[in-house]
Amino acid sequence: MSYACTQNVTFTAAVNNNTGSSNGLVKLVLSGVQMQPFTVKGKFGGAWDCVGFFTVSIWVSLLATLPMVTILRVGTYMHSDIKTMDRFDDPEGQPLWYQTLIKMKLDTDLRSCCIR
């Protein structure tokens, strides 16, 4: 797979002198350019003629997806690193059982309001 362009490819650059002012432009014109990253038996492969590898829709999709995936990965990492807090737990006493405390609180509230 190679990239070829039968149209003229032009590169221009400004030429500066020692004082920093622009003296003119240098122009490099290439016609009939063909490039291939790897050679296959000394021949070029099938050519894509002046076609970009990424269209505008592919670039926009990548630019929209990459930040979202980054945010998702950072959020997953932060979520997986949450530690339970045992600062107020007495290591020599019984551990705190929150469900039991909530159930006892509900039972007392029900008794005080409904049972007389």
Q: Mean pLDDT per segment of 10 residues, for the chain of length 116 residues?
A: 78 73 76 78 76 82 96 95 72 65 61 59
Q: Report the pLDDT value the prediction gives residue 49, as an integer from 0 to 100.
A: 75
pLDDT at res. 16: 72
- The pLDDT of residue 102: 58
- In 21-104, the DSSP E strands lie at 22-30, 33-35, 47-49
What pLDDT is recorded for position 32?
A: 80
Write 111-114 long-range contacts (CB < 8 A, 24+).
Answer: none
